[in-house]
Structure 1
Amino acid sequence: MIWLTLSVGAAFFMATNSAFIKRFFSDLSSWEMGLIPYFYGCPLFLATLAFIDIPSVGPGFLPSLAWVLPLLMIAITLHYRAIHLSPLSLTLPFLSFTPVFVLLTGGLILDETLKPQGVAGMLLVVVGGYVINLDSARYGFLGPIKAIWKEPGSAIMLLVAVLFGLTSVGGKVIILNSSPMFAAVVIFTLYGVLLTLILLATGKASLKNLIRRPLLGIAAGLIVFAEAVCHNTAMTLTSAAYMITIKRTAGIFSVLYGWLFFKERGIRFRFIGALIMTAGAAVIALWGG
């Protein structure tokens, strides 16, 4: 169950990164918020090259990288836009819908098959996402769904879930045509360099703002580096759909962070929804792999 431990680690670091950036960099624009972890993470990823074997890349490496990288840039930028606009506990949990899209894209791109237990586990995760907004059920059965569109960060994060459904599967193709760490180094180094150049050139980010709090920035870079290591390694050990489903339990950590550090309200149903997601993750881990 090493893949499970790594996937939970990826979930933890993903939620921690979002909470950390929201806590210490929310005075910046959403563009700059999304750039900070990767701006400071670039040197860490590059330094890793000295400690890993450089693999020979397969034929699917460059074609997949060509479409995964731009989609990933859009998805991550929207991710930080969502947490900039809305409470953490009403944004990150909506990534629990990603496994549904991974289920579809994984079957099309990777020819992966899922057991009925795995599908049942993913459905539980999705139900948990519904329950998180259950306090809106007083407006009818569709109340929790309508609440998504009333909270801009939730609606944006649902779009991010669609994009992550694609990039997660494409990312696995990149990993399978190289190695977990080499894929992480290439993807996130290119991401950090290209996004920095684009945002500085277009005036969406200021170098002064990026380097204003270097110690906090380095901490953000370390967190995103740890997430990438856990994510890419776990991807090689199990189905993309299963790994991403477990990683979507980042929503559980986000509810806790929202309650503890941001004093967000309406936590009761969000905790219940998080518990349902945990049950879905357990079904996948125990019987779906």
Structure 2
Amino acid sequence: MFGFLLAFGTAVSEALKDITSKYNLHHIDEYTAAFSMHLVQSLLLFPIVIYLGIEYMSTRFLWALLASSVLQLGVILLYFKAIKRSEISVTLPLITLTPLFMLITSPIMIGEFPSTLGIFGILLIVTGTYISNISEDPKKIFAPFVSLISNQGSRYMLLVAFIWSITANIDKIGVEETSPVYWAFSKDLLVLFYLVPILLIKSKKPWLQIRNRKWPLFMVGFFKSSSVITQMFALQFILVPYVISIKRASSVFIILYAFLFMNERKNFRNRLIGILTIMAGLYLIAIS
């Protein structure tokens, strides 16, 4: 149950990160947003790592660190390309496939496979999240999958979902070799260094953008740090597919926020059905 609560905390933090990021992206470019988020996270975790002490880094840890950081950088770039080339309503539902991919990648990579009840819980969360993100028009229910044939952005997003199913398992390896805080800090610090040349090439006046939005950007980094830390600790207690499935339930909080504070009533019928389906899936995972 403790692992479930930690994963639930990850979902809440992820939702808050996405909400604050949405406001920031109206004022800054995506490269500056990605860089500043990793910068704040590294700065917040650095004193904790120093206090706890530098840990021994095995060969297995170093290989996991290299693989995870490179894949995470690739995900960032693919994600931005997908958003730029396609409508979010078409590409976003494809991210929900990550937990399904993990039913294949987790047994292969780390030997974890959910119980029968847990699998049903994962399927309900995936279904509920998908329903929450599609159009109310019944004719468009399969639009995200149909778009895979003709839409390059959709293919990018499907690849993002698959890569995430791999990096989540690598996170488990990194946590086992060191600790949740040390792994999270090491991985995101390395990604931060990767982003520096990309920022300098792709972004216009990034330092001015950061200075003008320093406090909103700090909040994004803060919520991202909270999300990562609770996720890494949750991996110590429950299966990786469960953690990521619960994390994807962050859409529940985003939908409720949009309904209560942004007066977004469009497509609420589908979203309500999606929320109820997700809640049922969370319950099955909690009791499995």
TM-score when scaled to structure 2?
Answer: 0.86
Q: Displacement of 1:254 after TM fit?
A: 2.0
Q: Tell me how far apart the structure 2 counterparts of residues 93 and 233 of structure 1 sit (CA, whole Å).
A: 27
Q: Tell me how far apart the structure 2 counterparts of residues 222 and 68 of structure 1 sit (CA, whole Å).
A: 21
1:9-53 Cα shifts (integer Å, max 9, x gaps): 111111111110111332322222322321222211222222224
Q: Any conservation in 2 of the 1:93–1:250 contact (CA below 8 Å)? A: no
Q: Tell me how far apart the structure 1 counterparts of residues 212 and 276 of structure 2 sit (CA, whole Å).
A: 39
* Match of residue 197 from structure 2: 198
Q: Displacement of 1:78 after TM fit?
A: 4.4
Q: Tell me how far apart the structure 2 counterparts of residues 62 and 202 of structure 1 sit (CA, whole Å).
A: 28
The one-letter amino acid of 1:44's match is L
Q: Tell me how far apart the structure 1 counterparts of residues 269 and 81 of structure 2 sit (CA, whole Å).
A: 25
Q: Displacement of 1:104 after TM fit?
A: 0.9
Identity of aligned residues (%): 25
* Match of residue 34 from structure 2: 34
* Match of residue 208 from structure 1: 208
Q: Any conservation in 1 of the 2:94–2:144 contact (CA below 8 Å)? A: no
* Match of residue 145 from structure 1: 142
Query: Mean alpha-carbon deviation: is it higher for 229-238 or for 68-77?
Result: 68-77
Q: Tell me how far apart the structure 2 counterparts of residues 210 and 40 of structure 1 sit (CA, whole Å).
A: 11
The one-letter amino acid of 2:283's match is A
The one-letter amino acid of 2:143's match is K
Evaluate the alpha carbon distance shift between residue 79 and residue 200 of structure 1 in structure 2; reply closer, same or farther with a 3 A threshold.
closer
Q: Tell me how far apart the structure 2 counterparts of residues 83 and 26 of structure 1 sit (CA, whole Å).
A: 14
Query: Mean alpha-carbon deviation: is it higher for 244-253 or for 208-217?
Result: 208-217
* Match of residue 278 from structure 2: 277
1:143-190 Cα shifts (integer Å, max 9, x gaps): 312156499987755443222111101111111111111101101122
The one-letter amino acid of 2:190's match is L
Evaluate the alpha carbon distance shift between residue 211 and residue 78 of structure 1 in structure 2; reply closer, same or farther with a 3 A threshold.
farther
Evaluate the alpha carbon distance shift between residue 159 and residue 271 of structure 1 in structure 2; reply closer, same or farther with a 3 A threshold.
farther
Query: Mean alpha-carbon deviation: is it higher for 171-180 or for 19-28?
Result: 19-28
Evaluate the alpha carbon distance shift between residue 90 and residue 40 of structure 1 in structure 2; reply closer, same or farther with a 3 A threshold.
farther
Unmatched runs of 5 consecutive residues or more in structure 2: none
Q: Any conservation in 2 of the 1:99–1:122 contact (CA below 8 Å)? A: yes
1:41-89 Cα shifts (integer Å, max 9, x gaps): 22112222222243323332111111111111222344466678766x8
The one-letter amino acid of 1:191's match is V
CA-based RMSD of the aligned residues comes to 2.7
The one-letter amino acid of 2:121's match is G
TM-score when scaled to structure 1?
Answer: 0.86
Evaluate the alpha carbon distance shift between residue 9 and residue 90 of structure 1 in structure 2; reply closer, same or farther with a 3 A threshold.
farther
> Residue 203 of structure 2: SS of its match in structure 1?
coil
